[in-house]
Structure 1
Amino acid sequence: MALIDLTTVVRAPAEQVFDLSLDVDAHTASMARSRERVVAGVDSGRMSLGDTVTWAARHFGVRWRMTSRISAYDRPHRFVDEQVTGPFRHWHHEHTFSWDESATATIMRDVVDFAAPLGALGRTVDALLLERYMCRLIERRNAHLARAFAAGAR
């Protein structure tokens, strides 16, 4: 199993950062490089507790699909998305948001606990490649969200 723990500072109120983080259209825009798109479930707008979405994308030259569900939701503090079906043996992504008055910014934290399939081979792939790749993917997504607020979105 791999664990990613990222913190991103976003110059916007926690409520707005929370909402944009759950927005399917914002996610799709942030993942343009991998041509991620919705193929089932919530296909536009903001997701909420119990909502599911199935994404199709290409990573490492391979097409894959992943269905995730919003399994916890406490606006504007925290939500969790978990894989229902997809390429991972396990995927649990906790998003937390806290307002930092002194920085006049929201501290957005992503904690992702995941594991590739295939036992020992999957653990090797996690350690050598997948953890770093997924970390960069989430960093790219978060930078996209931060730029949206810097550009005056919302």
Structure 2
Amino acid sequence: MSKIYIETIIKADIHKVFDLARDIDLHQQSAFKTREKAIAGRTSGLMENGETVTWRAKHLGIYQTHTSKISEMEAPYKFTDFMLKGTFKSLKHQHLFSQEGENTIMTDIFEFESPLGIIGKLFNRLFLKNYLTKFLLTRNKLIKKTAEFSI
């Protein structure tokens, strides 16, 4: 299992950052390069506990679908989504939030496992972990920009 850990400091209220992190429309904006679109389940607005969303996106030149579900939510401090169906063997994304003065610390803990045994592990190490880290950083940059701009 591979793990990505990212902390983003955002000069904005925790409630605003929490909502932006679960905003499907904002996520689609951040993933414009992969043409990511919500196609089933909740397809716009803010994800809530127990809801699912199915994404369609072009990753590595191939259109793929991925269905995830919010399995846990404690507003505005955390929510967790996990893959129900998709190309990964497993995927879990924890979103954690804490307020420190005027800043919100947004923490992503992204755990994933590729299929195909040793070949999948090698692919993770050589390419996929870096690719997914860049994907998450792009998303976080837009959340930060949006939250700080609308103060």
Please give the secondary structure, in 2, of the residue aligned with 1:98. strand
Q: Tell me the TM-score normalized by structure 2.
A: 0.98
Query: RMSD between aligned alpha carbons?
Result: 0.9
Between the aligned partners of 1:6 and 1:141, the Cα distance in structure 2 is 11
Query: Cα offset for 1:150?
Result: 2.6
Residue in 2 aligned with 1:115? 113
Residue in 2 aligned with 1:106? 104
Cα contact 2:16–2:147 (8 A) shared by 1: no
Long gaps (5+) in structure 1: none
Q: Tell me the TM-score normalized by structure 1.
A: 0.96
Between the aligned partners of 1:72 and 1:151, the Cα distance in structure 2 is 29
Structure 1 runs (4+) deviating above 6 angstroms are none
Q: What is the 5 A alignment of 1:64-143?
A: 64-101=64-101, 104-143=102-141
Between the aligned partners of 1:58 and 1:108, the Cα distance in structure 2 is 27
Long gaps (5+) in structure 2: none
Between the aligned partners of 1:57 and 1:90, the Cα distance in structure 2 is 18
Q: What is the 5 A alignment of 1:23-62?
A: 23-62=23-62
Aligned residues: 151
Between the aligned partners of 1:149 and 1:47, the Cα distance in structure 2 is 18
Between the aligned partners of 2:32 and 2:141, the Cα distance in structure 1 is 13
% same residue = 36
Query: Cα offset for 1:39?
Result: 1.1
